[in-house]
Amino acid sequence: MRIKFLGTAAAEGVPAVFCNCPTCVNARAKGGKDIRTRSQILIDDDTLFDFPMDTYMHTLVHNFDLSAVKRVLITHSHMDHCYPQELCMRGAPFAKNMTEPSIAVYCNATVRDMILGDTGREIRPEIASTVKIKTLHPFDDVTSDGMRIIALPARHTKGEECLVYYVERGGVGALFLNDTGRLDGQVYSRLKAMGASVKFAALDCTYGTGSGTSGRHMGLGDVAEQVGLIRDAGLFARDPIIYATHFSHNTDLDFDGMREKAAELGILVAYDGCTVDVNA
């Protein structure tokens, strides 16, 4: 499985759109890995994890064919994870010679309704028919073209059944925990009972070296705690690869500083364009 971090920031980006705090000023000056766009991950060139407003820019910067994406896994309805208006462009006369005739969108009921409502004013019927919305609930287990997808309960927005995902293909299992606070160990135990095995994990680290006291996000200490719970559940495969991602501009360290701190815990730090080849 090839995993590419297209974007690794929280909603405001780094530097944040209107901000002149020290972190944002430093990021603008340094550039490189300190520039973070809204979070999105590309899996094997045919699967996207989340669909933010930066998706179009990601296709340009990272040079991939958006029309070749067969499925999108959306976590929740915030605009940095779900920007459905782009789907109105998925067909003639806006797009020609597309690679795939349709796209499957896996999401919760709130996102489903958001997509239908936000695109309903503009999307042409012939384009709408190619967007296949698949509504999931926590612990739903489905297969799409050889990829196993298990939806898991996130801790994020009250009143919305936010999701995170485990995917598996070619003997490789990957766990994507963006935009969530700490999960209970029972989540990982149940995933283990479903036969999952995690070789790769990417976890929310919105608060940098701080702590996710709000319960909606995590910091590095929370990530380490979650890694311990995953390990205690027997869910990790041998020599797992573990990344922190989804960083806010409110973090206290730049990329180099965060990488150094995370390394002490055996955790890697993602950056925009970071590509990981994961073998079974």
What is the pTM assigned to this prediction? 0.96
Whole-number pLDDT of residue 199: 98
pLDDT in tens, 234-243: 999 999 999 9
pLDDT of residue 280: 87
Render pLDDT for 226-275 as a digit per residue (tens, 0 to 9).
Answer: 999 999 999 999 999 999 999 999 887 999 999 999 999 999 999 999 99
pLDDT at 214: 63
| Percent residues over pLDDT 90 in the chain | 92
- Here the CATH number for the domain that contains residue 68 is 3.60.15.10
Task: Band the pLDDT of 217: cuts 50, 70, 90.
Answer: confident
Domain count for the chain: 1
Q: In this structure, what token pair is assigned to residue 145?
A: 């073209």
Which 3-state string (H, E, C) describes the chain?
A: CEEEEEECECCCCECCCCCCCHHHHHHHHHCHHHCECECEEEECCCEEECECCCHHHHHHHHCCCHHHCCEEECCCCCCCCECHHHHHHCCCCCCCCCCCCCEEEEECHHHHHHHHHHHHCCCCHHHHCCEEEEECCCCCEEEECCEEEEEEECCCCCCCCCEEEEEEECCEEEEEECCCCCCCHHHHHHHHHCCCCEEEEEEECCCCCCCCCCCCCCCHHHHHHHHHHHHHCCCEEEEEEEEEECECCCCCCCHHHHHHHHHCCCCEECCCCCEEECCC
Q: Give the pLDDT band (50/70/90) at residue 212.
A: low
- Give the per-residue pLDDT at 177: 96
Provide the residue range defining the domain that includes 173: 2-277
Q: For residue range 13-69, what is the model confidence (pLDDT) as tens digits?
A: 999 999 999 999 999 999 999 999 999 999 999 999 999 999 999 999 999 999 999
* pLDDT score recorded for residue 211: 75
